[in-house]
Amino acid sequence: MDLEDTVVLIVDDEKNTRDGLRRSFEDEFDIYVAANKAEALEVLRSESVEVMVTDLRLGGEDGMELIAEALKIPKPPVCIMMTAYGSVDIAVEAMKRGAYDYVSKPLNIDELELVIKRAIRSRSVETENASLKRQVEKRFSMENIIGSSPVMHPVFETVQQVAATKATVLIEGESGTGKELIAHSIHNLSGRPKSKLTIVHCAALSPQLLESELFGHERGAFTGATERRKGRFEEADGGTLFLDEIGEIDGNTQVKLLRALGERTIQRVGGNQVIKVDVRVIAATNKRLSELVEEGEFRDDLYFRLNVIRIEMPPLRARKEDIVLLSDTFLREFAEENEKPYRELTSDALQRLIDYDWPGNVRELRTAIEHGVVMSNGPKITLRHLPLFVKEGGGLLVAGRSHERGREVQTSGRPASREAVAVGGEVELNLDKMEQHYIELALERTAGNRTEAARLLGISRRTLQRKLKQEV
Ligand SMILES: Nc1ncnc2c1ncn2[C@@H]1O[C@H](COP(=O)(O)OP(=O)(O)OP(=O)(O)O)[C@@H](O)[C@H]1O
Ligand SMILES: [Mg+2]
């Protein structure tokens, strides 16, 4: 943004102050001055003032009232209050009424300049967010993320709110729910998009490799380190680093990561040099980090560092409203990719997609639609064209569901699980009993592993524990 085009209005009843401030800032901003409320309001109505700096006392008039009126105009300025030295309580009152900040008199020009610049920045982020919000409301999507269901609203909202900040973001959610997609959109909206998003899949590397992947190494740091190599933290300097599957990193690397996040410095493996890095970190996991902490597998201090802002991606089965729009998007995408005409789903097929349980979430839906597009040649895509697992699976429990890793989600053609059928056949449909039955099944299947069982049931470990206690 060009600051010279930024319209700043100075309101003060003393001519000396007006002239002084005009002289100090006229090279920097587009300065207007006013001596009283009426003059100020006239400027506010005729110019698009971005920042208004007003004295508290304007002769017999009150600067606080001016701020209140200024904030009512359609595109209000950010307001800064000038107060007499020591009247902090009045300044605080002004901020409660919507002023952005205050400076005390006698004025320190450098300080006022800083405050004005900060105000301008806050305003541009605000307008950006407001327009984003409108966009989201209109299209029910953000970037390429589709979702109009209520459970997605907090996700979009958080993305908007945190994108422009440097805050560390932790994204949790089952496999295939769109965690990586969210990381991309936070980065794209972050104001750091000039730099790229650097991605590290933490689970794909051995602990030693991960450490040097993240922090780099010096020549001779270990056998095979024939050359000095920069790590991803250095590579991502000035940009965003996405640490995928953060739950998988070992204790030693956890310590180093904690330091990198806390002190914003790193050391290459085998090196002594302390290197400063300016990196925004986004981490994702399909485990619940808080549970890994409880189990002693993840450092709690690192967890707190990562968990500044948490985004929980809801599973697809919790937002079935989105299936229609998602399907349609994927139908178009794969029609184009396969150079086929766009074809709709029959209502039967669509109903099946809505009824299915989607253990592999959006990724699984996408694959199913791709299958449908490739297999069909008629006027519509029918049930027949969908993959077997969608056609046949999808009760309350799907055998072998695993949320461990996207690639491992088992969705091969299997009939609705034996157990689900058995329960369906029970005459007495007592909800408590059914729940108990499913809990037992889940525990049986996971050999008593409560974390796994909870995941299978789609509830938190804590909830499972509570339910188990209730039973006895
Ligand atoms: N809301 C959505 N709108 C459109 N496409 C989506 C959405 N969510 C996920 N997808 C698509 O589904 C696929 C899986 O998404 P993504 O890789 O972001 O999931 P993930 O949560 O990171 O999974 P994993 O834990 O397995 O790494 C991608 O092809 C992505 O583009
Ligand atoms: Mg992912």
| Residue from 329, 161, 305, 158 nearest 246 by CA | 305
- As a whole number of angstroms, the distance between CA 187 and CA 185 comes to 5
Q: Given this model, what pLDDT does residue 190 score?
A: 82
Please name the fold of domain 417-472: Arc Repressor Mutant, subunit A (1.10.10)
Does residue 419's CB lie within 6 angstroms of at least one atom of ligand 1?
no
Does residue 176's CB lie within 6 angstroms of at least one atom of ligand 1?
yes
Report phi then psi at 356, rounded to 5.
Answer: -65, 155
**pLDDT tens digits along 76-133:** 899 999 987 666 677 777 877 778 888 888 888 988 998 898 888 777 766 655 555 4
Residue 362 has pLDDT above 90, yes or no: yes
Distance of CA 27 from the midpoint of ligand 2 (Å): 49
CATH number assigned to the domain covering 150-313: 3.40.50.300
Index of the ligand 1 atom closest to the CA of residue 171:
21
Ligand nearest to the CA of 173: 1
Q: Given this model, what pLDDT does residue 457 score?
A: 78
Residue 140 pLDDT level (bands cut at 50, 70, 90): very low
What stretches of 206-250 show up as alpha helix (H) in DSSP? 207-215, 232-235
Index of the ligand 1 atom closest to the CA of residue 322:
1
Index of the ligand 1 atom closest to the CA of residue 177:
21
**pLDDT tens digits along 235-288:** 999 899 999 999 999 999 999 999 999 999 999 999 999 999 989 999 999 999
Helix axis angle, 418-425 relative to 431-445, nearest 10°? 160
Q: Given this model, what pLDDT does residue 141 score?
A: 45
pTM higher than 0.85, yes or no?
no
Does residue 458's CB lie within 6 angstroms of at least one atom of ligand 1?
no
> Residue 265 pairs with which residues in a beta bridge?
276
Q: Given this model, what pLDDT does residue 135 score?
A: 47
Residue from 177, 242, 322 to probe ligand 1 pocket by mutation (most atoms less than 8 Å from CB) = 177
Which residues are CB-contacts of 263 (< 8 A; sequence separation ≥ 6)?
none
Does residue 178's CB lie within 6 angstroms of at least one atom of ligand 1?
yes
CATH number assigned to the domain covering 3-128: 3.40.50.2300
How many angstroms from the chain centroid is the CA of residue 459? 22
Report phi then psi at 160, rounded to 5.
Answer: -60, -45
Q: Given this model, what pLDDT does residue 128 score?
A: 58
The CA-CA-CA angle for residues 87, 93, 94, to 5°, reads 95
Index of the ligand 1 atom closest to the CA of residue 406:
26
| Residue from 36, 104, 95 nearest 66 by CA | 36
Region 137-154: what's the mean pLDDT? 70
- As a whole number of angstroms, the distance between CA 5 and CA 313 comes to 41
Does residue 363's CB lie within 6 angstroms of at least one atom of ligand 1?
yes
Closest CA to ligand 1's atom 15: 178
- As a whole number of angstroms, the distance between CA 441 and CA 419 comes to 8
Closest CA to ligand 1's atom 28: 363
| Residue from 277, 207, 202 nearest 239 by CA | 277
169-193: string of b/e by CB count within 10 Å (b at 16+)? bbbbbbbbbbbbbbbbbbbbbbbbe
Other C-beta atoms lying within 10 Å of the C-beta of residue 219? 12
Same fold, 3-128 and 150-313: yes
Region 312-318: what's the mean pLDDT? 96
Distance of CA 434 from the midpoint of ligand 1 (Å): 32
Q: Given this model, what pLDDT does residue 5 score?
A: 82
Index of the ligand 1 atom closest to the CA of residue 182:
18
What integer best gives the mean pLDDT of the chain?
83
As given in the structure block, the two tokens for residue 292 are: 């890994």
Other C-beta atoms lying within 10 Å of the C-beta of residue 25? 19
In this structure, the chain runs to a length of: 472
Which residues are CB-contacts of 106 (< 8 A; sequence separation ≥ 6)?
85
**pLDDT tens digits along 160-207:** 888 888 889 999 999 999 999 999 989 888 876 557 789 999 988 888
Other C-beta atoms lying within 10 Å of the C-beta of residue 136? 21
Distance of CA 363 from the midpoint of ligand 1 (Å): 6
Q: Are strands 229-230 and 275-276 parallel, antiparallel or unpaired?
A: unpaired
- As a whole number of angstroms, the distance between CA 371 and CA 368 comes to 5
Amino acid letter at 240?
Answer: T
Which residues are CB-contacts of 198 (< 8 A; sequence separation ≥ 6)?
232, 235, 236, 239, 240, 241, 242
Region 5-18: what's the mean pLDDT? 93
Ligand nearest to the CA of 171: 1
Residue 396 in contact with residue 358, Cβ under 8 Å?
no
Ligand nearest to the CA of 181: 1
Q: Regarding predicted confidence, which is higher, 140 or 61?
A: 61
- As a whole number of angstroms, the distance between CA 171 and CA 288 comes to 10
Residue 355 has pLDDT above 80, yes or no: yes
Going from N- to C-terminal start, the domains of the chain cover: 3-128, 150-313, 315-416, 417-472
Q: Given this model, what pLDDT does residue 194 score?
A: 59
The span from the first CA to the last CA of the chain, in angstroms, equals 65
Q: Regarding predicted confidence, which is higher, 296 or 425?
A: 296
Does residue 192's CB lie within 6 angstroms of at least one atom of ligand 1?
no
Distance of CA 108 from the midpoint of ligand 1 (Å): 51
Lookup result for tokens 């595109």: 75
Residue 340 in contact with residue 189, Cβ under 8 Å?
no
Residue 368 has pLDDT above 60, yes or no: yes
82-101: string of b/e by CB count within 10 Å (b at 16+)? bbeeebeebbebbbeeebbb
Lookup result for tokens 């407001």: 130
Does residue 423's CB lie within 6 angstroms of at least one atom of ligand 1?
no
Q: Are strands 216-217 and 229-230 parallel, antiparallel or unpaired?
A: antiparallel
Q: Given this model, what pLDDT does residue 431 score?
A: 57
Ligand nearest to the CA of 315: 1
Distance of CA 57 from the midpoint of ligand 1 (Å): 56
CATH number assigned to the domain covering 315-416: 1.10.8.60
What stretches of 140-264 show up as alpha helix (H) in DSSP? 153-163, 179-188, 207-215, 232-235, 251-263
Does residue 160's CB lie within 6 angstroms of at least one atom of ligand 1?
no
| Residue from 285, 279, 281 nearest 306 by CA | 281
Q: Regarding predicted confidence, which is higher, 30 or 404?
A: 30
Residue from 151, 175, 181 to probe ligand 1 pocket by mutation (most atoms less than 8 Å from CB) = 181
